[in-house]
C-alpha cells in the first residue's frame, strides 16, 4: 500500500534520540525541520514549541516499537490506536507531483498536513504511516535494534522476517562481539582443561 512509506516518519522521530548512549538530536526548531525531509513546506510552520510536542510523541512511539519487538501485539496496537485518536490524519487523492507520458496526473494517496502546528502534523503522518505498515505487513515487522547500545527502531521489510538490527553497521558490530565472546569462552574452557584435577575431597 502506498501510504506505508509514511512509516519512515515514525522511524526517524524515534531514532532522533538514542537513550542508551545519552544522545539527543531533537534539540531545536531546525532539527524539527530536518525530520520532515523533503516535506519542506510543512516544515516551514515549525516553531520551538514543536520540539517538546514531538519529544512527547517520540516517547509514545518508541513504546509501540518496544511492545512489538517484545511480541506484545495487543499493547502495540492499543498504544498506536491512542496516538491515532489524538493525532488524526486526512488521506487525500493527489496527482500534482507526478505526470504520465501524456502529461496527465498520476493519482495516488497522500496524507494532508492540516493540523494547526507542525508537530501535530508530523505526528499524524507518522502514526498513520505506522498504522498502515502494521496492518499491511504485520506487527512483528516493527523492531528495535538488538545491537547494544543502539536500540534504534526499524521496519523489517526482509522477505523472511529475519531482521534483527537497524543497519548493516550494527549487524556487523553484533556479529564481531558474538565472535569475540565465543573466542573468550573457548579460551576459558581450554585453560580449565589444562588445570590439574583436584584430589577427592579437596575444594
Collapse the DSSP code of 109 into the 3-class scheme (helix H, G, I; strand E, B; otherwise coil) and give the result. Answer: strand
Q: Which of 9-13, 18-22, 187-191 has the lowest mean pLDDT?
A: 187-191
149 preceded by a cis bond (ω within 30 of 0):
yes
Collapse the DSSP code of 23 into the 3-class scheme (helix H, G, I; strand E, B; otherwise coil) and give the result. Answer: strand
CB 42 within 8 A of CB 122: yes
pLDDT greater than 90 at residue 94:
no
Q: Which pairs with CB-CB distance under 8 Å and at least 24 residues apart come from 155-160?
A: 155/7, 155/8, 155/11
Confidence of residue 203 (pLDDT cuts 50, 70, 90): very low
pLDDT of residue 196: 56
Most confident of 1-5, 34-38, 106-110, 166-170: 166-170
As given in the structure block, the three cell numbers for residue 179 are: 565472535
pLDDT of residue 159: 87
pLDDT greater than 60 at residue 199:
no
pLDDT: which is higher, 89 or 195: 89
CB 28 within 8 A of CB 157: no
pLDDT greater than 60 at residue 116:
yes
Which pTM was predicted? 0.80
Backbone angles phi, psi at 4, to 5 degrees: -65, -25
Per-residue DSSP letters for 173-191? HHHHHHHHHHHHHHHHHHH
pLDDT greater than 80 at residue 27:
yes
As given in the structure block, the three cell numbers for residue 22 are: 545519552
The pLDDT tens digits of the residues spanning 135-161 come to 999 999 999 999 988 999 999 988 888
CA–CA gap between residue 34 and residue 44 (Å, rounded): 11
First-to-last C-alpha distance (Å) of the chain:
67
Q: What is the mean pLDDT of the chain?
A: 86
As given in the structure block, the three cell numbers for residue 6 are: 509514511
Amino acid at each position: 500500500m502506498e501510504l506505508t512509506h509514511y512509516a519512515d516518519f515514525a522511524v526517524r522521530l524515534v531514532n532522533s534520540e538514542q537513550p542508551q548512549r545519552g544522545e539527543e538530536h531533537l534539540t531545536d526548531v531546525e532539527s524539527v525541520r530536518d525530520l520532515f525531509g523533503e516535506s519542506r513546506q510543512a516544515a516551514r510552520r515549525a516553531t520551538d514549541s514543536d520540539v517538546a510536542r514531538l519529544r512527547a510523541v517520540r516517547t509514545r512511539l518508541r513504546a509501540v516499537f518496544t511492545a512489538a519487538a517484545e511480541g506484545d501485539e495487543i499493547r502495540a496496537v492499543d498504544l498506536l490506536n491512542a496516538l491515532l485518536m489524538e493525532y488524526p490524519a486526512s488521506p487525500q487523492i493527489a496527482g500534482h507531483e507526478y505526470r504520465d507520458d501524456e502529461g496527465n496526473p498520476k493519482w495516488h494517496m497522500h496524507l494532508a498536513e492540516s493540523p494547526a502546528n507542525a508537530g501535530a502534523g508530523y505526528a499524524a503522518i507518522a502514526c498513520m504511516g505506522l498504522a498502515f505498515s502494521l496492518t499491511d505487513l504485520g506487527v512483528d515487522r516493527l523492531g528495535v535494534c538488538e545491537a547494544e547500545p543502539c536500540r534504534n527502531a526499524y521496519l523489517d521489510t526482509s522477505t523472511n522476517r529475519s531482521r534483527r538490527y537497524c543497519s548493516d553497521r550494527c549487524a556487523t558490530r553484533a556479529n564481531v562481539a558474538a565472535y569475540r565472546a565465543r573466542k573468550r569462552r573457548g579460551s576459558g574452557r581450554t585453560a580449565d582443561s589444562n588445570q590439574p584435577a583436584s584430589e577427592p575431597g579437596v575444594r
